[in-house]
Homo-oligomer: A and B are copies of this chain.
Amino acid sequence: MGKNVIIVGGGFAGISAAKKLAESDFNVTIVDKTNHHLFQPLLYQVATAALSPGDIAMPIRGIFTKQKNVTVVLGEVTGIDKESRRVHLKNGSNLPFHYLILAPGAQYNYFGNDSWKEHAPGLKTLSDALKIRERILFSLEKAEQIIDPAKRKPFLTYVVIGGGPTGVEMAGSIAEIAKRSMMRDFRNIKPEETQIYLVEAAGRILNGFDEPLPEKGLKTLKNMGVEVLLNLPVQEIKKNGVQVDGQFIETPNVIWGAGVKASPLIQKLGVEIDRMGRAMVEPDLSIPGDDYIFVAGDAAHVKDEDGNPLPGLAPVAMQQGKYLGNFIKNGQKPSQRKPFRYVDKGTMATIGRAKAVADIRGFKFSGFFAWLMWGLIHIFFLIGFRNRFRVFAEWIWHYITFKRGVRLIAKEEEG
């Protein structure tokens, strides 16, 4: 009788672990709040109408169609019973486990200011991306109908908070829409009227990259018309704007990319957590005092060789998932498990059309070549031939025509 492996979360860590265990003697169950695996690095492109949800999301069932030992459950975990070795779901059912991998990911951290969440959505789920897309498209439509340029300025103002890769990618993308590719479709509003701000509390953007990449990123953003405001923590976000030290930026268009924290599910484990709510795990990713419960991905605090925590990036989550899948499959006893070691193959961020920054094993690239590489690598990691083909086709189209393919507001105009 096979042992039960329960994987909570169908993101990079969870899917990678499940793939290693596919077609083995283990009964694998993946539990996720949505029915799909989301390729998060490209989520900002759904938010800026360059890709469809269907291009970057794959039903988890579809990934494991042929692997009969993998079951998928659409559900939300509400509790973990370490005594009886069961996971409790919101719908009242519970699932027994021999091995439990918790990879529930992260969410946006508003540093205690939960009221900001409504005015400044983050970008973690498809639902987020579609909400942001709607807001951006709607702001252009709204501005188009206002005759007085002063009155329409707020609708043509966009504030992205957070100078990490997500914030930089969003700001660059919005600059493309609002300053270039879509403006020919409008008759009243002009590209010069739009104002995009990238607001960062620290002294520089792209903090995880080494120079000269942050400098190049900054230059590219400025050339695209994004105003980068450094050393400016956000003080207040209201429905009609953002307050930073020295000015109030009037706009309904605020996007949050400034801080993440681990899923609150981690708090139910009763283990030590860091400032971001991530579980402090052992070298084999198990939780202290339990050799058969693991945390992986953005929700885990794992130290690298220098004693620093690994960042919440896709390749980190993927490697952790594979690592766990491997030793579970090999039936290694706790004492036999080697510690997890992350192999850093490089990081990259794109900054709008045909520009990116990349650091591959110390070789630093920027500009068009980096962007090509970024594109190819992201397509490679997409799950499923169909998705790869669609995204590739969509990008070719966009590059040639400057048009963004998916500019849809699905809800009807509400006055």
Taken together as a complex, chains A and B put the C-alpha atoms of A389 and B386 apart, in Å, by: 14
What distance in Å separates the Cβ of A327 from its nearest Cβ neighbour in chain B? 26
Least distance between A183 CB and chain B CB atoms (Å): 10
Residues of B within 8 A of A59 (CB): 185, 407-408
Residue A222 lies at the interface, judged by CB distance under 8 Å to chain B: no
Cα A137 to Cα B62 in complex, Å, equals 13
Q: Does A345 contact B (CB under 8 A)?
A: no
In the bound complex, do residue B407 and residue A35 qualify as a contact, i.e. CB atoms below 8 Å apart?
yes
Give the complex CA separation of A409 and B33 in angstroms: 10
Total copies of the chain: 2
Q: Which residue of B lies closest to A66 (CB)?
A: B184
- Distance between A125 CB and nearest chain B CB, rounded to angstroms: 7
Q: Which of A53, A74, A144 has the most CB of B within 10 A?
A: A74
Closest approach, in angstroms, between the C-beta of A130 and any C-beta of chain B? Answer: 7
Closest to A129 in B: B410
A393 touches which of B36, B61, B389 (Cβ 8 Å) = B389
Residues of B within 8 A of A90 (CB): 413, 415
Which residues in chain A, 45-60, are within 8 Å of chain B measured between CB atoms?
52-55, 57, 59
A34-B413 CB under 8 A given contacts A52-B52, A145-B73: yes
Provide the bound-state CA to CA distance between A125 and B409, in Å. 11
A24 within 8 A of B: no
CA–CA, A380 and B213, complex, Å: 47
Known contacts A62-B185, A389-B393; is-contact A34 B412 (Cβ 8 Å): yes
Chain B residues closer than 8 Å to A386, beta-carbon distance = 397, 403, 405
Minimum CB–CB distance for A409 against chain B, Å? 5
- Per-residue CB contact flags for chain A residues 64-75 toward chain B (1 = under 8 Å, else 0) read 111010011111
Q: Is the beta-carbon distance between A91 and B145 smaller than 8 angstroms?
A: yes
A141 contacts B410, CB within 8 Å? no
Which of B35, B184, B393 meets A408, CB within 8 Å? Answer: B35
The answer, yes or no, to whether A186 is at the interface (CB within 8 Å) is: yes
Q: Which residues of B contact A130 (CB under 8 A)?
A: 410
Question: Which B residues lie within 8 Å of A333 (CB)?
Answer: none
Residue-by-residue, is A368-404 near B (CB-CB < 8 Å gives 1, otherwise 0)? 0000000000000000001001100100010000010
Q: Report the separation of the CA atoms of residues A125 and B410 in the bound assembly, to the nearest whole angstrom.
A: 8
A268 at the interface (CB under 8 A from B): no
* Interfacial residues of chain A within 63-104, with CB under 8 A of chain B in the complex: 64-66, 68, 71-76, 90-91, 93
A411 within 8 A of B: yes
Kindly state whether residue A151 has any CB partner on chain B within 8 Å: no
A2 CB to nearest B CB, Å: 14
By Cβ-Cβ distance, the 6 closest A-B pairs, closest first, are: A61-B185, A74-B141, A54-B406, A90-B415, A52-B54, A59-B407
22 CB contacts below 8 A, A to B, read A34-B412, A35-B407, A52-B54, A53-B408, A54-B54, A54-B406, A59-B185, A61-B185, A62-B185, A64-B185, A66-B184, A74-B138, A74-B141, A76-B412, A91-B415, A125-B410, A125-B412, A126-B408, A126-B410, A127-B412, A386-B405, A390-B393
Extra contacts besides A74-B141, A126-B410 (17): CB < 8 Å: A35-B407, A35-B409, A36-B409, A57-B408, A59-B408, A61-B185, A73-B144, A74-B142, A74-B145, A76-B413, A76-B415, A90-B415, A91-B145, A127-B411, A386-B397, A386-B403, A390-B393
